[in-house]
Structure 1
Amino acid sequence: MLQQDIIDNINSGIIGLDADYRVRMINPAAEALLQLSEARILGLMICELESPDVPWRATLDQAALEGRAIVRRGLSLDTRDGKPTFADIVVAPMREVSHLAYLIELQPVDRLLRISREENLMNAQETTRTVVRGLAHEIKNPLGGIRGAAQLLERELPEGSLQEYTSIIIQEADRLRDLVDRLLGPNKKPALVALNVHEILEHVLQLAVVEAGERLAIQRDYDPSLPSIKGDRGLLIQALLNIVGNALQATENQPQCALTLRSRSQRQFTIGEQRHRLVCQIDIIDNGPGIPEALSETLFVPMVSGRAEGTGLGLSISQSIVHRHGGLLNCESRPGETCFTIYLPMEN
């Protein structure tokens, strides 16, 4: 039991095979890497997962013949969602222990690159939030003085057209104050309760259908086995609505907005400097023209928008909400497909 607990907590993917090359053991890291559950893969011959870049049988035959570990580096593993994952593979023969004759280790080579990229993204976003908070403080203080002075001046002016100018000053000061508040994002502490992530997604879709009507084509790809998450329902709905709203706007010149919502679980997943045993992954995919490369590095920076009429606050607010839940929001985009991915820890 202790040995199984140790294997389950190893970050590398581990697969145990019997002498006939059938899968007899797989740890959560390998399940996540291959996007195959233990129930689905146990008993299968590993050769049934054969892909053009991974010659399982030839590698196992060589390991058996030479009696040593065989290493294959940088191979592309086919996954269920069609996105290849690159990994180093070590196939080692072993004395039969619990009917295991071979041990396969899968070490994703893009994992460290992903963690490093995400740490840089989170550090950049935290720096942006610090700058925005300081800037908001410097703006709101004189704004209060300007508004108060305009109110005092309005009382001293005679009735008539001159008060129109003080009213404009007060209204514009209020508008600028509201803009600064939006820059700061939600200021309330998240009220964390147990939530069904699919109920939240369905609520967001209902609101999107009201806005887009028949132009919206929805595809659901949910994992019904996902447990509840801890989150603030209102804040998470706001974060998701901002992303879905961006998808609708990005496809407004197209006859149809094809929107896919997908939920998955990820095991032994690292967010920033913390590794989580279980993470909820939410993908929001649209068929828009994609995000311009010039905006890819500043996508979550406030006041940066690719649309002339855009405020550039929606994604910034969504990122802030996800971050306050201990999660991560990132994006991958190419012409015809943009995917926003939210990772939320599922520990209590």
Structure 2
Amino acid sequence: MTGPARSAADWALGAAEQAAIPIIVFTAEPRLAWANQPAQEWFGLSLRTLQRADLRLAFPGSGRLLDCVAQAAADRRTVVALGEGLGANGVSDLHACWSEELEMVTLSILPHCETGPRASQAAALGFGRMLAHELKNPLASVRGAAQLIERETDLDATAELARIIIQDVDRITRLADHWSGVGDIQLGALSLVNPNRLALTAIESLVRANPAAAGMIEERFDPSLPDAWGDADLLHQTVVNLLQNALDAVAGLNEPKITITTRFDTGPRSRNGDVAAPLLLSVTDNGAGILASLGSGIFTPFVTTKPAGEGLGLAFSARITALHDGQLDYDSAPGRTVFNLRLPISRGELT
């Protein structure tokens, strides 16, 4: 290492040593390479002991901490976990940041702060990666339709599949346009959007990308539900995200079940401030559930319960819902998790 580079590294370590929060550096294996004084006090172990110890054995409660570091190293990205219970040290927020240059993970342990759906509106939240994440679902649908065309011999059926491909490619283009230039999600063309139709088109997209999902989904629609007013593409993507999360949650179950429900709800959650949002679209799955410690942080970018997840789908969905003056919330317990998308009635429906 050259002199200037060594000086820069020494400066960085010196700054980390002076930090008031625990900061730990892990190698890609991952193995603890260095810890500042607050981290040594946090563990109650010296640096020499930390470097030689198996933390899972030496420090009860470190399992989730090491899982975050391992995921950041394996995926070459930043992993955030909020509200983690870490033994006697209570509840903390973990930020594990991968450095491509150093090929190391820097872990910061911060006091836990409550977050919510509005947190997803902050400016510097990795919008480019979020866009790439959102394009995956319609691209999977396009791929599924193209594969069907390969095997299809009936010209009418082929024409219908080609129409689906064009429709999804147009949706990808519109999604990209929403993000380009401004770095944030913006509403596009607004129109009447019926929650039942929204649910059906989202199911169709999901099943085209993953035909096995068809047998898992049960529909329970209120046929008299009035329309919402909004951006049909972004709302469509929001519901696809909720369905995809449910599909991920039930993966590997012997009897996976996803239920999508629409109904009119005037309960205590059906308001966003002064705006009534009684149009309810719910997605329920019978998966393992979401850790209670995540709380509303589940809607924060890069927070994920999936081993290889990006933690962006729910942040995107929360942002879209907020732009429509709606609300996104959830209830979860082992064997039953339900996400609720709540939207206002179109003004035209009220006149």
TM tier, smaller? 0.3 to 0.5
Greater share of residues in strand: 1
Structure of greater Rg: 1
TM-score where L is the length of structure 1: 0.47
